[in-house]
A and B are shown apart, each in its own frame.
Chain A
Amino acid sequence: DTGVSQDPRHKITKRGQNVTFRCDPISEHNRLYWYRQTLGQGPEFLTYFQNEAQLEKSRLLSDRFSAERPKGSFSTLEIQRTEQGDSAMYLCASSSWDRGPAGANVLTFGAGSRLTVL
């Protein structure tokens, strides 16, 4: 297993363009998370999936953001009509299901996709 993979690692785009990021989680993990992180700050929750179901989405997300996990494996995060404020690192993480208390599962993160909007 190669861990969580994210693609592309870096993306530079012009304001108004659409971008899509892909995340390939650890194969046996059924939960997949997307976070946004700006320099020196903690990751900000965007959304998470359990298998193919999107269970929660941050109210901070505008309609320009959409995430999918069509077959319960890889996931995509699309940002439409990008704005300069969208510039950030987009992190994906996955975790397995177990019977432990919520919050005790290990989140395994990818290295992130850095977006720069000019």
Chain B
Amino acid sequence: TQLLEQSPQFLSIQEGENLTVYCNSSSVFSSLQWYRQEPGEGPVLLVTVVTGGEVKKLKRLTFQFGDARKDSSLHITAAQPGDTGLYLCAGVATSGTYKYIFGTGTRLKVLA
């Protein structure tokens, strides 16, 4: 059972457009992470959000952790072709372990 559902699954947009990716769960997470993965490589961490309601900005990327710590969103402003990749949310749902569960993934393609 996949605990973290991402939407949309695929997204193809033109350069300069804005987009939002969602990560939802019925479970409470102590923190959530966002990773980006490019073809042939492993995922690379973008950000960790820890506090419910927290908002973090990384240049054109804005990450938000839901108040109830069950969901998160990633917003990209003025997308660029270099943003193309597979975006993954991840977290530890079970206390007392360090078992990271990954979301279903959102594949983003930004067209020039």
Contact = CB atoms under 8 A, between A and B. Distances in A.
Interface of A: 4, 31, 33, 35, 40-45, 48, 50, 55-56, 91, 93, 95, 101-112
Q: Which 9 A-B pairs have the closest CB atoms?
A: A109-B42, A103-B92, A42-B102, A103-B31, A42-B105, A102-B92, A101-B30, A43-B102, A104-B31
A12 B42 CA distance: 20
Interface residues of B, number: 34
Contacts of A102: 30-31, 92, 95-98
- Prevailing SS type, chain B contact patch: loop
B45 A48 contact: no
B105 A40 contact: yes
A104 B42 contact: no
B107 A40 contact: yes
Contact of B99 (A48, A109, A110): A48
B43 A109 contact: yes
26 contacts: A4-B42, A31-B98, A40-B86, A40-B105, A42-B103, A43-B88, A45-B99, A45-B101, A50-B98, A55-B97, A55-B98, A91-B43, A93-B42, A95-B98, A101-B31, A102-B92, A102-B96, A103-B31, A103-B32, A103-B90, A103-B91, A107-B35, A110-B42, A111-B40, A111-B41, A111-B42
